[in-house]
Amino acid sequence: MRLALSAGIGGLLFGYDTGVISGALLYIREDFGQVDRKTWLQELIVSMAVAGAIGGAAIGGWISDKFGRKKSILLADGLFAAGALVMAFAPAPWMIILGRVFVGLGVGMASMTSPLYISEASPARIRGALVSTNGLLITGGQFLSYLINLAFTKVSVIISKLRKLSLQDQKV
């Protein structure tokens, strides 16, 4: 079970990434005016993770066979982390797009390698149940991302209310 959960982190990251962009796009549009004005740029930011995932899944099998399942999963998680850092410090929309491609590569590799590793390392009698944890973690990651999006939305509402109160106090 520990093996399935640790290998299934790729599934959790996959689910998290597919869900978190819906809330993050609101803040990206605020920070970058050109993204707010151009819907094609918003669409590009969202879809680049899927494009990266196609490439990651395509090369994931080869990397997994060449270097091993564990190293492939670690590389996928590293790509995801690198993409997240690139997006976090992005000074322009093109850097967000680049970060989304890195995240997508990691997600694609993990979505191919994690279930494979779990199935190969699991006893036959519980193999199906353990492989299905990957699917459970994907939906769990989506749920987690929506909870985080909700928390950030509530924080922004609270901050805007506090700013209004502060401005009212200054006027008095």
pLDDT in tens, the chain (172 residues): 888 888 888 888 889 988 889 888 888 888 898 988 898 999 999 999 999 999 999 999 999 999 998 899 889 989 999 999 999 999 999 999 999 999 999 999 988 898 888 898 888 999 998 889 888 999 999 999 999 988 887 776 677 777 777 767 666 5
Closest CA to 9 of 75, 97, 96, 56: 75
CA distances from 89 to 76, 86, 99, 125 (A): 20, 6, 10, 46
At residue 171, the pLDDT reads 67
Domain that holds residue 160: 2-171
- Whole-model pTM: value is 0.81
Q: How many Å apart are CA 23 and CA 78, to the nearest integer?
A: 23
Count up the domains in the chain and report the number: 1
CATH number where 114 lies: 1.20.1250.20
At residue 81, the pLDDT reads 92
Question: Residue 105 burial by CB count (10 A; 0-12/13-18/19+): exposed, middle or buried?
Answer: buried
At residue 139, the pLDDT reads 93
Q: Which residue has the tokens 């769990």?
A: 140
Terminal-to-terminal C-alpha distance of the chain? 61
At residue 161, the pLDDT reads 73
